[in-house]
Amino acid sequence: MSAMKKTPKILIHNRLAQFFDPGVISMFGILQLVLRSDLGISIISRETIAFHMGYNLPLNRKSRKRIDDLAHYLDDMGLIEYHEDYYKVDTGCFYAEEGYELCDVGVFKLLMQKPDLLRHYLLIKRGRIDGKCRFSLDYFAKIENTSVRTISRWNKELEELQTIIIYQDTYNPDKNGRSNNVYVLYSEEQAALKNESYGDINRSVSQRYNSFIKDPTKFTPLQRKTLKKEVEEYNERNPDRAKDLSVFSTSLN
């Protein structure tokens, strides 16, 4: 398989996130952290994977079997090739475009030794519509084969790790009259709040930029340089709405 363009994200196969032991999710992500810089066929030892997953070395019989069982899942899916003392990996699978869920590297590192939390986070991420996940506690408990109490505990842990934010939807209670949770990703919520706080600044820059385009002669050299710097900062905040900086090239000396 040929390697595709590298990405700073961790790719989690959709089937792993939904059906398998959550430890498999951690293992596949750790393979990417360790081997992403290598292109082609790579070899990695059982002990290296175990170390990154938080197991004590040397491995005892129970831990060794656990790691091998997880590796067999990945082998069955064709994602790695299992051998008695090592695993063979074609790193091209780390750069696939379809059939995978993306996970920020920072979030993955926080959760890679907590596979139950990692899977729960990914299910929240996959369940979002317009940036919000509205799955009930009962639904999570069913698909993750655990109790509502455990789901509530995982929610709290994910919030404490600043990976998600949970709001209460008091307008659409569940069948028992309880408020439903509304989940958003912490990173996206913080970005939205930051953009909102820049709203007035963005509008001010846009107004002065438009005025400059209409009549640059109304701006002193210092005002022009200041505006150019502000527009550069605006473009960094709003890459999808970046303004043309070339208008300053003939005006700045």
82-91 b/e with 16+ CB inside 10 Å = b?
eeeebbebbb
Pairing relation of β-strands 180-185 and 86-90? unpaired
Among 95, 117, 146, residue at a domain's last position = 95
Domain-located, residue 162: no
Percent of the chain scored above 90 by pLDDT?
26
H helices of 144-182, where? 148-160
Query: Does position 225 have pLDDT exceeding 90, yes or no?
Result: no
Domain-located, residue 80: yes
* Long-range interactions of 121-126: CB distance < 8 A, separation 24+: 121/158, 121/163, 121/164, 122/12, 122/17, 122/25, 123/17, 123/18, 124/158, 124/164, 124/183, 124/185, 125/101, 125/185, 126/14, 126/17, 126/101
H helices of 59-198, where? 61-76, 105-111, 115-126, 137-143, 148-160, 186-197
Query: Does position 88 have pLDDT exceeding 70, yes or no?
Result: yes
Q: Could you give the number of structural domains in the chain?
A: 2
Among 32, 66, 95, residue at a domain's last position = 95
Domain-located, residue 161: no
Domain-located, residue 169: no
Q: How far apart are CA 58 and CA 55, in angstroms?
A: 9
Per-residue pLDDT tens over the stretch 40-83: 788 999 999 999 999 999 999 999 999 999 999 899 888 899 99
Per-residue pLDDT tens over the stretch 133-147: 989 888 999 988 899
CA atoms within 13 A on the CB side of 126: 19
Query: End-to-end distance of the chain based on CA atoms, in angstroms?
Result: 53
Q: How far apart are CA 77 and CA 71, in angstroms?
A: 10
Domain-located, residue 50: yes
Among 43, 68, 95, residue at a domain's last position = 95
Give the pLDDT mean for 10-14. Answer: 74
Domain-located, residue 131: no
pTM: 0.68
Domain-located, residue 71: yes
Domain-located, residue 203: yes
Average pLDDT of every residue of the chain:
82
Kind and range of the H or E run holding 26: helix 22-35
Among 92-96, 165-169, 185-189, top mean pLDDT goes to 165-169
- Select from 54, 195, 192 the least CA-distant residue to 113: 54
Evaluated on CA atoms 192, 193, 194, 196, the torsion sign reads positive
Tokens of 241: 């709405």
Give the pLDDT mean for 207-222. Answer: 84
Kind and range of the H or E run holding 210: helix 199-214
Beta carbons of 243 and 235 less than 8 angstroms apart: yes
Kind and range of the H or E run holding 9: strand 9-13
Domain containing 42: what range? 9-95
Q: How far apart are CA 88 and CA 46, in angstroms?
A: 11
| CATH classification of the domain holding 78 | 1.10.10
